[in-house]
Structure 1
Amino acid sequence: MKPDVFIAATLRKRTPDYDTSWAPLVIGLGPGIEAGKHAHVVIETKRGHYLGRLIHQGEAIANTGIPGSIGGVDKDRVLRAPQAGVTRNLHGIGDLVAAGDVILTVDGQPVKTLIPGVVRGLIADGFNVKKGQKLGDVDPRGDADYTRTISDKGRTIAGGVLESILAHFAKQNI
C-alpha cells in the first residue's frame, strides 16, 4: 500500500534512502535531503529566521554540528559518546541535574553534563553507539515542563509540514 503522504522526520543529517516515488507527497525534514530528488518538499529545521520554511528546490541549511543556543548555551548542552559501546542510563528525561553529574555510561565510561539543567533528550538504554555520537541534551532553563510539551522549534517545523500538506491537497482541488 502506498501512502498519500510520507514524512521523513528522523533528522538523520545524511543522504536519505527514500525518494519522491514513495508517495504523491514526500516531505523531508532538515539537512541532507534534496527537494525534487529525495522529497517533494524539505522543511528547514535550523533555528533562526528560516525555521519551518518550505523548500521546493535545493536543500535545507547544512548541519553545522553546533546546536542552536538555548538559554545562552549551545554545544555544552549536548551529551556525546566518549567511546563506542552500549549505553546505560542513570537519569531520565525530565530529571534535574547539576554540572558534573553522570547522566549515562557507555560501556562503563561516564558521560557527564557540563551544565546544570533538565535532561531534555536521551538515547534509549542499551543502545549501541559510536564514539562522538549525540546521546542527549540538557536544557539549561531547568524547567521539566518543557520536556512534556512541544517546543517552539517543534511547533514551527510541524507547522511547515502541515502547510506543505494543505498546499499539496489544495492544488489537487483547484
Structure 2
Amino acid sequence: MEIRVAVKGGGDLGTGAILRLHRAGFRVWVTELPQPLAIRRAVAVASAVYEGAISIEGHTARRVEDPEMFPLLWARGEIPVLVDPLGDSIRQLRPEVVVDAIMAKRNTGTAITDAPVVVALGPGFIAGVDCHAVVETARGHDLGRVYYQGSALPDTGIPGPIGGHDVLRVLRAPRAGRFRAIRRIGDRVEAGEIVAYVEEEPVRTAIAGVLRGILADGLEVVPGMKVGDVDPRAEVRHCFTVSDKAWAVGGGVLEAVLCLLRARGMLPWA
C-alpha cells in the first residue's frame, strides 16, 4: 500500500523528519517557499530550491516544477521538492499524511482536515484542534516527544544551548536590507570576525567556532532576523550531517505517523 506524505518546510528540523519517513518507505514530497530561509543549508532539503538538488547522508532531494514528476523521482529513490507556498499540491493530490515542519512558531494555515493524519512540529499548534499530533522541538527532556493532546512547550525566543552558548551562537541581521555572506558553511571563525554583510553593515560572530549555517546570498532580511549559526564545538563534520535534534524530532514524527495510520486501519499490519 502506497502512503504519501506531504511535508511543509524543508529546513534542518523538517529534514530530520523527511529522511526518517523516506527511509521508512513513505512516498514523501516537500513544499517550500520560492526563497527558503533555511540557515543550516548543507543539511536542509530546502536547498534544492536554490541548487536544483542536494544530497544529505546518502539521500537526494531534487527540485521539480510539477507534481507529475513525483512518481519518477520516487521510483529513483529521490525526494521531490516543489515550490508551493500555498500548498496547492496538497489540495490537488490529497496525501494520506501532512506534516507541518515550517517552524514558524505559529500555525500559518494547517488544518486538522488537510489529511487523515496531520502532524505538526513545535509550538503554535494544539493536538486535537489544529492537527492530530504535535512533536516537541525544544531541547531538553521532552525533545522529540509526541503529544496527542495539547501543545508543545511555548517558544522562549532563546535558542537551545550548544557547547555552553545559546544566544551568542546565533547571528542576527543588524538592519534591514540585502544579505551577503563572505564566509562559507564549515569555515572556522574567531570571535569578532565578520562573516557577512547586510548592505554595508557587517555581521560579526560573538564567539569562536565553526560556521554551522548561514543564510543564502541575496535575500532581503529585517532587523534581528536569524542569518547564521556558529557551533562552538568546532566539529566541521557536524555542519554536513543531520543534527541529534533533527533526528530526535524526526523520530517523533515517524512515531506519530505510524501510530495514527495504524489507529485508522491504514497500515498493512493494523
TM-score where L is the length of structure 2: 0.62
Instruction: Report the Cα distance in structure 2 between the residues aligned to 1:134 and 1:125, rounded to whole angstroms.
Output: 14
TM-score where L is the length of structure 1: 0.95
CA contact (8 A) 1:104 1:110 kept: yes
Structure 1 residue 81: Cα displacement: 0.8
Large movers: runs of 4+ above 3 Å: none
Structure 1 residue 26: Cα displacement: 1.1
Matched, 1:53 2:145: yes
Structure 1 residue 18: Cα displacement: 1.4
- Structure with higher RCO (Cα < 8 A, 6+ apart): 2
Identity %: 47
Higher helix share: 2
Which residue of structure 1 aligns with residue 114 of structure 2?
22
Structure 1 residue 160: Cα displacement: 0.1
Show CA shifts across 1:66-91 (max 9, x none).
Answer: 11111111100000111111100111
Matched, 1:67 2:162: no
Amino acid at match of 1:21: T
Instruction: Report the Cα distance in structure 1 between the residues aligned to 2:125 and 2:199, rounded to whole angstroms.
Output: 33
Which residue of structure 1 aligns with residue 80 of structure 2?
none
- Matched position secondary structure for 1:142: coil
- Matched position secondary structure for 2:229: strand
Indicate which of 90, 95, 107 corresponds to 2:182: 90
Which residue of structure 2 aligns with residue 122 of structure 1?
214
- Matched position secondary structure for 2:124: coil
Structure 2 unmatched ranges of 5 or more: 1-92
Structure 1 residue 15: Cα displacement: 3.0
Amino acid at match of 1:100: G
Instruction: Report the Cα distance in structure 2 between the residues aligned to 1:167 and 1:36, rounded to whole angstroms.
Output: 15
Which residue of structure 1 aligns with residue 255 of structure 2?
163
CA contact (8 A) 1:84 1:129 kept: yes
Matched, 1:112 2:112: no
Which residue of structure 2 aligns with residue 5 of structure 1?
97
Structure 1 unmatched ranges of 5 or more: none
Amino acid at match of 1:39: C
Instruction: Report the Cα distance in structure 2 between the residues aligned to 1:161 and 1:86, rounded to whole angstroms.
Output: 35
Aligned residue-pair number: 174
Instruction: Report the Cα distance in structure 2 between the residues aligned to 1:107 and 1:25, rounded to whole angstroms.
Output: 44
Cα RMSD of the aligned pairs, angstroms, is: 1.1
Matched, 1:81 2:154: no
Show CA shifts across 1:33-60 (max 9, x none).
Answer: 2222222111000000000011122211
Amino acid at match of 1:66: I
Which residue of structure 2 aligns with residue 134 of structure 1?
226
Indicate which of 29, 44, 52 corresponds to 2:136: 44
Structure 1 residue 163: Cα displacement: 0.4
